[in-house]
Amino acid sequence: MDQLRSRTDVDLSVDLAGIQMQNPLTTASGTSGYGPELSSYVDLSRLGAFTTKSITVEPREGNPAPRIVETRAGVINSIGLANVGLEKFLAEKLPSAAKLGVPILVNVAGKTIDEYLTVASALDRVEEIAGLEINISCPNVAAGGLEFGTNCAMASELIRTLRGAVKRAKLIVKLSPNVTDICEVARAAVEAGADALSLINTLRGMAINVEAKRPVLPRGFGGLSGPAVHPVAVYCVWRVYREVAKPAGVPIIGLGGVQLWQDAMELMLAGATAVAIGTALFIDPQCPIKILDGMTDYCRRHGVRRIADLIGTVAPPTAQ
Amino acid sequence: MAHHLDNKAVHQAEVLSNRPISAGKDQPNYLLELKLDRSFTALPGQFIQIQISEPPLTTHRELEHQNGEFQPWTVEAELDHKTPLLNRPFSLADLRTVDGFTQASVLYKVRGPGTIRLSQFRASDNLTLFGPLGSSVFTLPERVDRVVMVGGGLGLAGLLFWTNGLIEKGLPVTMVAGAPTAEQIPLPKELWSQRTGDTRNLSNVFSRLGPEAVNLYVATDDGSAGHKGFVTEVFDQVLAEKPPSERWAVYACGPWAMLRLIARAADEANVFCQVSLEEMMACGIGACQACVIKVRADNHQGWQYKLCCTQGPVFDARTIVWDQD
């Protein structure tokens, strides 16, 4: 810790739509529970922000097991938004997350606009919550979730409604890569009033047990994450930044398969203001600290005083 | 031993040895012996997650050799985007203090990318592990006259730490070990073949399991050792011979179908039964919510999910919803 404090020559802080982060790193929703789960392994107060698991109005048991399968360089999950529900989250889970001393982003999910609205309105009244990450991209639930993320009109209606109700917390819209053109949904979200965008959620994927001739996951498919999806994330962030986010002045949380500091820098150069770490936390809960060290060294080697100056600075392609 | 449910942490372990315990070529059983700092302790039933995404140092050395010098980026490239990805959960087959250090034994079967990678670690290699994990451990009810261990395949590994502890307490132990073939029984041949009782050359994990301490039965699918058939058939016979006046405790670990039959038989005989369960998990620490076990609950649907990692992995057999299909 002292080692990092002495590195005052590099300013790692970023401004995510008014949320002041001491560095660009946060957790990806669903990969670090509500906070205490990881606290024996990593000092989460070192992060720039902490993003919780998805919260729905009512508690959800989630999908039957197995909920996860490892694939080549990736993981397919089908958790099904298992969570304790809004009431218990506020009473029992949020207080410990709030003690981290970093901005708290709460992921919000629902089956209907009304459900999203109920959760978002309640969370907006809680001072400790800096931002609401609206999950319109979960592939693992029968209703809601991805419907809103793959249909521009539905995304627009949802975000517009939430925009009218959420007064204080920042509205971050989490986008799905499971679309023909991610920029269309990004544009719809921004035009409806999103303060920031978060991308990418998992890619729909499937694994088959060839001996049993059956899908491995009970629902057949799930969401692919891990190093396998990283290049997709870089591409999506790069396009959304250039075509939607930068012109509108809306920042991006980039995520997808970040495991090494190089992965995080790629997303920032592509246009991300902040970077979320997900699957890699399952393997090494301390990896955010290692990634921060790597990013700091990178800035120093490149003579960069403020990491924010690097956002979106990748050179343009040299061929058509 | 003091209660160690809250001392989970990241630990660096040195590999002392890592070798097959039987001659079988098909999915051989390996015994991994690790040296850890004394701060690492665990209760029987708890488990660890071993980080497998990082190749063993011997692989680093090979890279070093290829390139003429040690190049960190080469190792990083090796780490990057290679399977296996997730950490792998393992039960502890034994744990002891030697010369001020903790020694841990892990018994595993080489059968996929993760365990193939694990089998490549050599003495003096280091590996990273997380643990001890799990909050629900094996317990002994009051006034037990005999304990019965039932292991299906490598499930037996999950019972050995507990078994060794109970032997030291002086409890009579019956053990039923099942495997597809004789070669795949996760015990050294000295223990189940001939029953010579010569355990002098055996690893610490197995040295206390001789015939004076353990009444051992073996079942194989092909009849190449012991009873030809299922471990559950042997268990039924063992249970049928229980003197009515004796109080027994049954501990089982293995495939779901086996555990379901053991649980039913123990329940019908009104015998205490704990099972150690496994389910596909990513983190092992309650964050990913993947490893759900359906347990009976006093709610509208009559069940709820519990996480195998943080609310298990040991469960009272009567609390499990066994018929899940």
- Pick the range with the lowest mean pLDDT from A105-109, A142-146, B58-62: B58-62
Residue A219, pLDDT > 80, answer yes
Mean pLDDT, chain B, as a whole number? 89
Residue A7, pLDDT > 70, answer no
The span from the CA of B226 to the CA of A273, in Å, is 65
B275 strand-pairing partners: B252, B315
Rounded to a whole number, what is the distance in angstroms from the first to the last CA of chain B?
Answer: 40
Between chains, do A282 and B81 touch, taking CB under 8 Å as contact? no
Extract the tokens encoding A111. Answer: 């089956």
Torsion of CA A116, A117, A118, A124, to 10 degrees: 110
What is the pTM for the complete model shown?
A: 0.91
Residue B27, pLDDT > 90, answer no
B-chain residues near A281 (CB < 8 A): 283, 287
B-chain residues near A77 (CB < 8 A): 282, 288, 290
pLDDT tens column, B248-281: 999 999 999 999 999 999 999 999 999 999 999 9
> Is B98 part of the contact surface with chain A (CB cutoff 8 Å)?
no
Q: Which CATH superfamily is domain B9-133 in?
A: Translation factors (2.40.30.10)
The mean per-residue pLDDT over the stretch A248-263 comes to 97
Residue B76: closest C-alpha in chain A: A260
The mean per-residue pLDDT over the stretch A50-71 comes to 96
- Pick the range with the lowest mean pLDDT from A18-22, A87-91, A241-245, B8-12: B8-12
Q: What is the pLDDT of residue B71?
A: 46
A-chain residues near B280 (CB < 8 A): 65-69
The mean per-residue pLDDT over the stretch A2-14 comes to 71
What are phi and psi for residue B16, nearest 5 degrees? Answer: -90, -45
Whether residue A308 contacts residue A48, with contact meaning beta carbons closer than 8 Å, is answered with no
Q: What is the pLDDT of residue B77?
A: 46
Q: What is the pLDDT of residue A107?
A: 97
Distance of CA A223 to the CA centre of its chain: 14
Q: Which of residues 115-154 of B touch A (CB under 8 A)?
A: 128, 130
- Pick the range with the lowest mean pLDDT from A13-17, B198-202, B302-306: B198-202
Between chains, do A70 and B287 touch, taking CB under 8 Å as contact? no
The CATH number of B146-276 is 3.40.50.80
Residue A238, pLDDT > 80, answer yes
Q: ipTM score here?
A: 0.91
- Pick the range with the lowest mean pLDDT from A105-109, A140-144, A316-320, B51-55: A140-144
Q: What is the pLDDT of residue B311?
A: 97
A129–chain B nearest CA distance, Å? 20
Q: Which residues contact A3 (CB under 8 A, 6 or more apart)?
A: none
Residue A282: closest C-alpha in chain B: B283
Select from A67, A216, A279 the residue whose CB has the most chain B CBs within 10 Å, as the one to mutate to test that interface.
Answer: A67
> What element of type H or E holds B48?
strand B47-50
A37–chain B nearest CA distance, Å? 6
Percent of chain A with pLDDT over 90: 90
Whether residue B156 contacts residue B177, with contact meaning beta carbons closer than 8 Å, is answered with yes
Select from A70, A140, A210 the residue whose CB has the most chain B CBs within 10 Å, as the one to mutate to test that interface.
Answer: A70
Helix crossing, B256-268 with B231-240: angle to 10°? 10
Measured CA distances, B20 to A15, A165, B91, B185 (Å): 55, 63, 17, 12
> Is B110 part of the contact surface with chain A (CB cutoff 8 Å)?
no
Mean pLDDT, chain A, as a whole number? 94
pLDDT tens column, A169-207: 999 999 999 999 999 999 999 999 999 999 999 999 999
Q: Which residues contact A133 (CB under 8 A, 6 or more apart)?
A: A29, A51, A105, A106, A107, A108, A172, A173, A174, A198, A253
Q: What is the pLDDT of residue A2?
A: 47
The DSSP-derived string for A90-158 is IIIIHHHHHTT-S-EEEEE--SSHHHHHHHHHHHHT-TTEEEEEEE---TT-SSSTHHHHH-HHHHHHH
Distance of CA A110 to the CA centre of its chain: 17
Q: What is the pLDDT of residue B65?
A: 52
The mean per-residue pLDDT over the stretch B69-98 comes to 71
Percent of chain B with pLDDT over 70: 87
Q: What is the pLDDT of residue B80?
A: 40
Q: Which of residues 15-74 of B touch A (CB under 8 A)?
A: 51, 53
Residue B68, pLDDT > 60, answer no
The CATH number of B279-325 is 2.10.240
Q: What is the pLDDT of residue A25?
A: 98
Angle, CA of A226, B284 and B32, to the nearest 5° = 100
Q: What is the pLDDT of residue B206?
A: 93
Between chains, do B290 and A68 touch, taking CB under 8 Å as contact? yes
The mean per-residue pLDDT over the stretch B75-87 comes to 61
pLDDT tens column, A263-296: 999 999 999 999 999 999 999 999 999 999 999 9
Residue B5, pLDDT > 70, answer no
Residue B54: closest C-alpha in chain A: A283
Q: What is the CATH number of the domain that holds A15?
A: 3.20.20.70
Between chains, do A68 and B83 touch, taking CB under 8 Å as contact? no
The mean per-residue pLDDT over the stretch B20-28 comes to 79
Between chains, do B280 and A67 touch, taking CB under 8 Å as contact? yes
Q: Report the candidate in A263, A280, A269, A250 with the shortest Cα–Cα distance to residue A310.
A: A269
> Is B172 part of the contact surface with chain A (CB cutoff 8 Å)?
no
Which ranges in chain B are annotated with CATH 3.40.50.80?
A: 146-276
The mean per-residue pLDDT over the stretch B207-222 comes to 94
pLDDT class of A6 with cuts at 50, 70, 90: very low
Q: What is the pLDDT of residue A1?
A: 46
Q: Pick from B86, B287, B293: which is nearest to A70 by CB?
A: B86
Percent of chain B with pLDDT over 90: 74
Q: What is the pLDDT of residue A207?
A: 96
Q: What is the pLDDT of residue B200?
A: 73
Residue B283, pLDDT > 80, answer yes
The total number of structural domains in chain A stands at 1
Q: What is the pLDDT of residue A145?
A: 73
Residue B126, pLDDT > 60, answer yes
> Is B160 part of the contact surface with chain A (CB cutoff 8 Å)?
no
Between chains, do B282 and A228 touch, taking CB under 8 Å as contact? no
> Is B10 part of the contact surface with chain A (CB cutoff 8 Å)?
yes
Between chains, do B282 and A75 touch, taking CB under 8 Å as contact? yes
pLDDT tens column, A81-90: 999 999 999 9
A-to-B residue pairs, Cβ atoms closer than 8 angstroms: 108
Q: What is the pLDDT of residue B79?
A: 47
Domain range for residue A266?
2-62+80-202+227-310
Residue A39: closest C-alpha in chain B: B9
Q: What is the pLDDT of residue A142?
A: 74
Q: Pick from B9, B82, B280: which is nearest to A69 by CB?
A: B280
pLDDT class of B69 with cuts at 50, 70, 90: low
The span from the CA of A227 to the CA of B27, in Å, is 29
Q: What is the pLDDT of residue A8?
A: 59
Catalytic machinery residues of A: 138
B149–chain A nearest CA distance, Å? 26
Rounded to a whole number, what is the distance in angstroms from the first to the last CA of chain A?
Answer: 46
Which ranges in chain B are annotated with CATH 2.10.240?
A: 279-325
The span from the CA of A155 to the CA of A142, in Å, is 17
pLDDT class of B197 with cuts at 50, 70, 90: low
The mean per-residue pLDDT over the stretch A228-242 comes to 98
The span from the CA of B155 to the CA of B91, in Å, is 9
User: Considering just the CA atoms, what is the radius of gyration of chain A in Å?
Assistant: 18
Q: What is the pLDDT of residue B66?
A: 53
3-state secondary structure of A252: strand
Between chains, do B85 and A66 touch, taking CB under 8 Å as contact? no
Between chains, do A37 and B9 touch, taking CB under 8 Å as contact? no
Select from B7, B78, B85, B320 the residue whose CB has the most chain A CBs within 10 Å, as the one to mutate to test that interface.
Answer: B85
The mean per-residue pLDDT over the stretch B50-67 comes to 67
Q: What is the pLDDT of residue B2?
A: 41
What are phi and psi for residue B78, nearest 5 degrees? Answer: -65, -40
Residue B38, pLDDT > 90, answer yes
B-chain residues near A31 (CB < 8 A): 283, 287-288
Which ranges in chain B are annotated with CATH 2.40.30.10?
A: 9-133
pLDDT class of A72 with cuts at 50, 70, 90: confident
Q: What is the pLDDT of residue B196?
A: 61
Residue A119, pLDDT > 60, answer yes
Q: Name the more confident of B194 and B103.
A: B103
